[in-house]
């Protein structure tokens, strides 16, 4: 019941087999080098396409219950400990005063790599300009690149992300695990626009579980982005479910459970 890693597919997607064939072919040269390195180090080679192996002692899994998949074969709970995410603490964040200071708050961050896509963010800013909301946008080290910024948008190179997400009504992000878990921890809907790695999987899972929406980074229209933003902020059923989940995650802090599991292992 678990789709191929990095595929962005649903578990029952009929293109699964084709993806697996192409994935194995694409990673084969790197995997061959990796296995030679393992053999030189006295380790057994891993099966094709596999770069990670589970610890025989303890494995910490960061997937919150609300987006967790049902496995046909359950993992050994003595070795695999699920966490309700693992959200870091940051300093407080004081909201800026916008020239247009009305409406819900939306936070946008695509991470340090995604911030390099200035053209994409400029397109999004043009859509933000016509919406009745305030937008905080992380643009990394390229802040000076932006000349015309709407009055309802605040740009900066860095933000204490968990503290900003906690005050937001919507989080637009690339689907990285930290961002996804932070949105879930604070009960905030996600609009995910992935570009690499686990972002594709998390975007698919957000749609499947009703905790957000997925829009491709290319091919969207201004109206499509506007409707996605307004639709997520108006979805009261989703927001209620996310708030309930946020309370569940708050009662079981992943950092504390992880620390307890590690200490228990050390003591044995």
**For the residues 60-75, what does the mean pLDDT come to?**
94
Same domain, yes or no: 228 and 134: yes
Per-residue pLDDT, 231: 98
Question: Is 67 inside a domain boundary?
Answer: no
CB contact at 8 A, 186 and 90: no
Same domain, yes or no: 213 and 109: yes
**For the residues 240-253, what does the mean pLDDT come to?**
96
Per-residue pLDDT, 33: 98
Same domain, yes or no: 42 and 113: no
Two tokens, residue 68: 């967790």
Same domain, yes or no: 48 and 122: no
Whole domain around residue 162: which residue ranges?
105-251
pLDDT one-digit tens code per residue, 174-233: 999 999 999 999 999 999 999 999 999 999 999 999 999 999 998 899 999 999 999 999
Confidence of residue 1 (pLDDT cuts 50, 70, 90): confident
Same domain, yes or no: 242 and 134: yes
Per-residue pLDDT, 146: 95
Question: Is 9 inside a domain boundary?
Answer: no
Question: Is 85 inside a domain boundary?
Answer: no
Same domain, yes or no: 162 and 225: yes
Question: Is 173 inside a domain boundary?
Answer: yes
Per-residue pLDDT, 76: 95
pLDDT one-digit tens code per residue, 97-137: 999 999 999 999 999 899 999 999 999 999 999 999 999 99
Q: What is the CATH number of the domain that holds 160?
A: 3.40.50.2000
Residue 105's DSSP bridge partners are: 134
Residues 6+ apart with CB under 8 A from 49: 20, 23, 24, 27, 31
Helix then strand count (H, E) for the chain reads 9, 8
Same domain, yes or no: 215 and 118: yes
* pLDDT over threshold 90, residue 241: yes
pLDDT one-digit tens code per residue, 45-58: 999 999 999 999 99
Same domain, yes or no: 152 and 21: no
Same domain, yes or no: 41 and 123: no
Same domain, yes or no: 203 and 120: yes
Residue 173's DSSP bridge partners are: 109, 192
Per-residue pLDDT, 195: 93
* pLDDT over threshold 90, residue 18: yes
Same domain, yes or no: 45 and 139: no
Question: Is 30 inside a domain boundary?
Answer: yes
Question: Is 80 inside a domain boundary?
Answer: no
Question: Is 100 inside a domain boundary?
Answer: no
* pLDDT over threshold 90, residue 268: no
**For the residues 4-22, what does the mean pLDDT come to?**
95
Same domain, yes or no: 181 and 247: yes
Per-residue pLDDT, 202: 97
Question: Is 259 inside a domain boundary?
Answer: no
Per-residue pLDDT, 111: 92
Per-residue pLDDT, 137: 98
Please count the structural domains in the chain. Answer: 2
């Amino acid at each position: 019941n678990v789709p191929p890693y990095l595929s962005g597919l649903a578990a029952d997607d009929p293109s699964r087999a084709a993806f697996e064939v192409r994935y194995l072919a694409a990673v084969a040269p790197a995997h061959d080098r990796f296995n030679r390195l393992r053999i030189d180090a006295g380790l057994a080679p891993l099966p094709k396409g596999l770069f990670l192996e589970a610890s025989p002692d303890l494995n910490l899994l960061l997937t919150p219950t609300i987006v967790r998949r049902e496995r046909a074969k359950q993992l050994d709970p003595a070795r695999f400990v699920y966490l309700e995410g693992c959200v870091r603490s940051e300093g407080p964040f004081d909201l800026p005063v916008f020239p247009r200071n009305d409406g819900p708050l939306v936070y946008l961050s695509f991470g340090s790599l995604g911030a390099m896509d200035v053209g994409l963010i400029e397109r999004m800013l043009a859509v933000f300009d016509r919406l009745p909301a305030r937008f905080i946008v992380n643009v990394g080290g390229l802040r000076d690149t932006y000349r015309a910024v709407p009055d309802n948008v605040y740009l900066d190179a860095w933000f204490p992300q968990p503290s900003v997400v906690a005050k937001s009504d919507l989080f637009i992000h690339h689907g990285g695990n930290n961002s996804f878990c932070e949105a879930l921890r604070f009960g905030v809907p996600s609009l995910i626009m992935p570009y690499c790695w686990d972002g594709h999987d998390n975007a698919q899972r957000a749609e499947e579980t009703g905790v957000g929406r997925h829009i491709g980074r290319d091919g969207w229209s201004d109206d499509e982005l506007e409707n996605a933003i307004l639709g997520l902020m108006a979805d009261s059923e989703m927001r209620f479910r996310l708030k309930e989940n946020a309370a569940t995650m708050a009662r079981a802090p992943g950092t504390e459970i992880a620390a307890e599991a590690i200490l228990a292992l050390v003591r044995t």
